[in-house]
A and B are shown apart, each in its own frame.
Chain A
């Protein structure tokens, strides 16, 4: 195990639903990330939280809303999603938030299907 836990592992939702993805890290890290992984495409950075403050919103549509109540927990709230939002959503953490120089630890992801 990587020390980063994501729930649920799988999620199917309609376009009018509201759901939330949860991520928890047990590594004592200060930075947490949300990535989107679509089939056959590179990982796309969505959001970065460093010491609970959002330091990056990579032009993500407002139907995705992150929340970071403390350094160990990260949520991604979903509403009125589109079918093209179907993907694997990965949470990651690192020690200080300088991912270019630090090791990233990933969770197992939430496989999201939007119908």
Chain B
């Protein structure tokens, strides 16, 4: 079973509306959690990185929250735009000094006019 589960798998929203994506993880001990945006045919681009002590972080219209006690994170997109259509990937790292990250399968967001 994957240590990072994302939901929903995909969603469709109308331009201008808000949406929230969920990420649940079992990675332990926890170090940090990241959200990446991946446009079709491109590589992932970092949106936010949060450590244990941070429970919210914003990047423009993207706001990520973290509850390290319940091991849950969400990514909220405000006033969606057509350019927000992409896959959003949650990535969690354990408290270790190496290169092993746990990736979620992503949520595909489609914004329609």
Contacts and interface: CB of A to CB of B under 8 A. Distances in A.
Contacts of B9: 40
Q: How large is the interface on B (under 10, 10 to 19, 20 to 34, 35 or more residues)?
A: 20 to 34
A50 to B, nearest CB: 8
Q: How large is the interface on A (under 10, 10 to 19, 20 to 34, 35 or more residues)?
A: 20 to 34
B32 interface: yes
Given A99-B99, A100-B93, A101-B97, A42 B104 contact: yes
A74 interface: no
Contacts of A4: 43
B43 A45 contact: no
Contacts of A65: none
Interface string A15-59: 000000000000000010100000011110100101000011000
14 contacts: A6-B43, A41-B105, A98-B99, A99-B98, A99-B100, A99-B101, A100-B93, A100-B98, A100-B99, A100-B100, A101-B31, A107-B43, A109-B43, A111-B41
B2 interface: yes
Given A97-B99, A101-B93, A106 B2 contact: no
Given A40-B106, A99-B99, 14 more contacts: A31-B99, A33-B99, A42-B4, A42-B106, A43-B103, A56-B99, A94-B99, A100-B32, A100-B100, A100-B101, A101-B93, A103-B46, A104-B44, A108-B42
A100 B31 contact: yes
B96 interface: yes
B102 to A, nearest CB: 8
A90 interface: yes
Interface of A: 2, 4, 6, 9, 31, 33, 40-43, 45, 48, 50, 55-56, 90, 92, 94, 97-101, 103-104, 106-109, 111
Interface in B39-83: 41-46, 49
Contacts of A48: 99
B93 A40 contact: no
Contact of A104 (B42, B46, B95, B97): B46
A101 B31 CA distance: 8
